[in-house]
Structure 1
Amino acid sequence: MATMFPAAHAAVRASMDQRSIEVRMRETPQLHAGEVLVQTEYCGLCGSDLHIWNGDDGYGWVPCGTVLGHEIVGRIVRSDDPGGLKPGTRVVAIAQSGCGSCPACMMDYANGCPDKVTLGLTRDGGAARFVAIPATQLLAVPHDVPARTAVLTEPLSVAARAVADRGSVTAADTVVVSGPGTIGILSALVCRHLGARVVLKGTAHDVAARGGLADRLGLDLVETLPPGFKPNVWIEAAGASSALADAVRELPAQGRLVVVALYGAPPALAANDAVRKELDITTSYSSHRPDYQLALDILQTHPGLGDLLVETVPLTSIAVAFEKVGRGAMPKIAVEP
């Protein structure tokens, strides 16, 4: 039978070798019940993808040959979900899904499901021209949010969970966000969206490299906290022991510390000082549908954010894209199939 879709398309596949990645032609995915075929416009690369590329410890469970990519924006081209979103709709994908019936899933907490599935890690992701995604994992992108901005939805949802959900930040709070990487910058934007007073804290190198970008975003990026700036909430997105030490030192008694970073080595924490201050220390990981919805709401107020934060690279130059991610060339690198 003739089909309007190519019989094969390029896809980025995980390899077993360190810093080895393959771009191969493969058949267009066949849809199962309840799935939707999405033509990818952009697929963002994140730290998890970089760890897989580097062959880092702790990522050996990702099957060799898996198509990478969970930060997906694209348009529906075919659907096996008659009552769902229609072909032509621009969508973003929720990265994680659960079994739907365990206690964690009953609380809409897929991250706690023992059988969770993650796009680009445990099933084929979006670093390809086409990707099959369960219809229940898709959200429509508002018409006034362009694709280059919408590709920020997944990392922004992670920041939204850390700030709004786990951190319970409101307009009454004064917040420091440590680490001006992707999640740090987006966390600061979420704080500002919620009306909180916020500064972004980094190293001297960070200030030199990203100070101009912070200015364009209307954020204060500092190496040292301004005189009189007394935070009661600290969002740790740097992944550095020094940032944890700063947080414990600067927060007042019963302040709130939210750790959203992942660390390359076990971090040091001044636990005795944290105990004496009765700090509330919370961790935050991944995100869920309400966090994605908040992210899309925020992006509607910043439709040009992608032009400031996202650099695009052709899918065929995937090795260049990973090199750019590794050296932090831009807050977000996205491949364009």
Structure 2
Amino acid sequence: MQETPRLRAGEVLVATEYCGLCGSDLHIWNGDDGYGWVPCGTVLGHEIVGTIVQSEDPGGLKPGTRVVAIAQSGCGDCAACTADYANGCPDKVTLGLTRDGGAARFVRIPASQLLAVPDAVPARTAVLTEPLSVAARAVASRGRVTAEDTVVVSGPGTIGILSAVVCQYLGARVVLKGMTQDVAARAGLAEQLGLDLVDTLPPGFKPNVWIEAAGASAALADAVRGLPVQGRLVVVALYGAPPVLAANDAVRKELDIITSYSSHRPDYGLALDILQTYPGLGELLVETVPLSNIAVAFDKVGRGAAPKIAVEP
């Protein structure tokens, strides 16, 4: 049985309700190349929703408050932190990677990394806050999508689906594009979300923004080919191998090529606002597995059994 973590000044103890698992967690679980820097024995999990049970932060959120955690934090003083970009901090700390995360009954978290969950958002939906914040950053902050835009999102995985939801929330016209097998597998889900999921763009659909969340060279090629002159290409995917970009075509079209990585506090705030509008999103997207069956959970993550797999202590 897990020992209850001892708190330091400014930390709170959170009883985990759900902890989402992502591709990074799967790479660490599998011992894949490039993840050997994660200390052996680290508790995984950065997509955390739970309830505060103890606090060493007298002026902060009180015990009994349901919270979500901001996955990354920086030193607060370097140039990257000053620019509100903790990802670039040389001393950044990431839950579940450089310090113990939430795939456990309890997790200690700095109070500064917590946000209260609105009452209207159930825990199974709130566990989507971190991945939704990544999508929100790609679409709203980096992509600058508004109700005036027409958007294609390529890749109907977790981030692709959530990016399309953000576009929908912002009032943009959006199509979610995948391969034929993706469309067959997730057509029912897309219909429940009110999203158009296609393998070929509808006749006359002319996007000016393309969110690339598939992580495939073919999707990048589609985006460059499908965007008009001075369109915006937002790349939020990570790629298993260096992708091929039709650079000459992109230059000739003067495309704005924008990258987006991870998320920050304002993106989490937008994510929680969106989840208040979609309180049932967790029931549609999240499959839960008992923490005691975490090997089963990772098998489901690897197979893409659901848009989001979360463990439940």
Give the TM bin, normalised by the shorter chain: over 0.9
Match of 2:287, SS?
strand
**Residue aligning to 1:271:** 247
RMSD of aligned Cα (Å): 0.6
Match of 1:88, SS?
coil
Q: Give the distance between the partners of 1:284 and 1:212, measured in 2 at CA.
A: 29
**Residue aligning to 2:290:** 314
**Residue aligning to 1:166:** 142
Partner letter of residue 138 of structure 2?
A: A
Residues 196-228 of structure 1 show CA distances to partners (whole Å, capped at 9, x for unaligned) of 000000000000000110000000000000000
Matched, 1:122 2:98: yes
Matched, 1:71 2:47: yes
User: Which of 77, 99, 102 in structure 1 is aligned with 2:75?
Assistant: 99
Structure 2, unpaired ranges of 5+: none
Matched, 1:140 2:140: no
Matched, 1:281 2:257: yes
**Equivalent residues in 2 for 1:220-259 (5 A)?**
220-259=196-235
Q: Give the distance between the partners of 1:66 and 1:127, measured in 2 at CA.
A: 10
**Contact 2:20–2:310 (8 Å) recurs in 1:** yes
Q: Give the distance between the partners of 2:155 and 2:40, measured in 1 at CA.
A: 32
Matched, 1:47 2:23: yes
Structure 1, unpaired ranges of 5+: 1-24
Match of 2:152, SS?
strand
Partner letter of residue 301 of structure 1?
A: T
The ranges of structure 1 where at least 4 consecutive aligned residues each deviate by more than 4 angstroms after the TM superposition are none
Q: Give the distance between the partners of 2:191 and 2:5, measured in 1 at CA.
A: 43
**Residue aligning to 1:31:** 7
TM-score, normalisation: structure 1: 0.92
Q: Give the distance between the partners of 2:2 and 2:119, measured in 1 at CA.
A: 31
Partner letter of residue 7 of structure 2?
A: L
Stretch deviating more after TM superposition (46-55 or 155-164): 46-55
Partner letter of residue 174 of structure 1?
A: T
**Residue aligning to 1:300:** 276
**Residue aligning to 1:13:** none
Matched, 1:178 2:154: yes
Q: Give the distance between the partners of 1:99 and 1:33, measured in 2 at CA.
A: 16
Q: Give the distance between the partners of 1:56 and 1:282, measured in 2 at CA.
A: 28
What's the % identity of the aligned pairs?
A: 87
**Residue aligning to 1:14:** none
**Residue aligning to 1:3:** none
Q: Give the distance between the partners of 1:102 and 1:331, measured in 2 at CA.
A: 36
Q: Give the distance between the partners of 1:205 and 1:54, measured in 2 at CA.
A: 26
Partner letter of residue 137 of structure 1?
A: Q
Instruction: Count matched residues.
Output: 313
